[in-house]
Amino acid sequence: MTIKNQRNLFDIPEDIAYLNTASLSPSFLSIEEAGIEAIKEKSRPYVIPSSDFFEPVSQLKKQFADIIGADDHNRIASLPSVSYGLANVANNVTLKSTDEILVIDEQFPSNYYIWKRLVETYGASVKVIHQPEDRDNCGQLWNEAILEAINENTALVAMGQIHWANGIIFNLKAIREKTRKHDALLIVDGSQSIGALPFSVKEIQPDALVCAGYKWLFGPYGCAYGYYGPYFDDGVPIEENWSNRLYSENLAGLTDYQPQYKPLASRYNVGENGSFIYVRMQSEALRQVAQFPPDIIQEYCDSISTSAIEELVNLGFYVHKLETRAKHLFGVEIPQDLNIEALKQELAKAKIYVSFRGRYMRLSCHLFNTKHDFNRLVETVKSIMTPA
């Protein structure tokens, strides 16, 4: 299956090179339309049935379950953020003072602070697995270091499927196997991969997966998803909201207080998870995402970026080996003698949008991008490297 450029599905002007989906995705035009229609309905609340508090949310969970290969949508929770989903995890984990929580070097803050707080509560410790200095063998050596670090003291491993700044892919299957040998939990942050890189909960079997919805899943900012495995089936959520209780669909009987939660991960849903506007937009976003298989997205992104990467490498930049990194998101290490601030200014003038993480220029692309976007990036870089 070959996918052609899909820029026509977005409202992105031709003079814009947007290579920053890893920060915030643009909306499909259909998502914008869905949101506008939902806003109009809110102006006429009498047309919104009470079933809209529940049925669209259930459908949304089914859509996300399909994307990650989960059989039961009741294992999916509707969340406002990754940090919220991780807080529910931490709320149901107890540690011993000898326990360690393993994280990756320069992990995204939301997937670090929560574990720092948890270990401080129990007098345990966070163990950081640093990125190897050998750039050419970074992917292999980093994965080996992670596997070696998992031992009898490891209580929990928290990490992404890829590194959010440079795109290095982690071998979650092997890491899962090692955590099982030591009865350690595996908590995955899929924010920079789910929707663009192949992933299956059946294959990896994480104890929990949390994922921002506004990046590669193209939803509005302020939405996220969580998958919670059997370990959390009887857990305690960080908030108590009415809609997560059994039989809450019966609005007339809400004050017949119900001690039981709805099945499995439904207890972890955020309050007001039936947000009419957000759910409508999220559902349309996942409908669009489901039309484009992640392996095809990887193939497309590779096809439009390869020649540009080769040119950047020839100019003194560094990009990790193709077989060790993602193709939709990767870091381009900037030469020491290049003025980053000057580069930022020139890219802004040229209407080229990227992210900077330390000395990495992070490039992230999707089906609306073209070879021309990357060629413009290369030409802009050349312009500041050429003596006046």
* Chain segment 318-343, per-residue pLDDT in tens: 999 999 999 999 999 999 999 999 99
Q: Which two tokens stand for residue 242?
A: 């009415």
Using H for helix, E for strand and C for coil, what is the string for 171-202? CHHHHHHHHHHCCCEEEEECCCCCCCCCCCHH
| Farthest CA pair distance, the chain | 77
Tens of pLDDT along 134-157? 999 999 999 999 999 999 999 999
Q: Specify whether the CB–CB gap between 305 and 377 falls below 8 A.
A: no
How far apart are alpha carbons 137 and 16 in whole angstroms?
35
From first to last of its 388 residues, the chain has per-residue pLDDT tens of 678 899 999 999 999 999 999 999 999 999 999 999 999 999 999 988 888 989 999 999 999 999 999 999 999 999 999 999 999 999 999 999 999 999 999 999 999 999 999 999 999 999 999 999 999 999 999 999 999 999 999 999 999 999 999 999 999 999 999 999 999 999 999 999 999 999 999 999 999 999 999 999 999 999 999 999 999 999 999 999 999 999 999 999 999 999 999 999 999 999 999 998 999 999 999 999 999 999 999 999 999 999 999 999 999 999 999 999 999 999 999 999 999 999 999 999 999 999 998 888 999 999 999 999 999 999 999 998 865 4
Q: For residue 163, how many other CB atoms are within 10 A of its CB?
A: 29
Backbone phi, psi, residue 160, to 5°: -90, 170
CA distance 322 to 134: 16
Cα radius of gyration (the chain): 22
Domains of the chain: 7-27+292-385 (3.90.1150.10), 37-289 (3.40.640.10)
pTM for this one? 0.95
Q: What is the pLDDT of residues 88-147, one digit of tens each?
A: 999 999 999 999 999 999 999 999 999 999 999 999 999 999 999 999 999 999 999 999
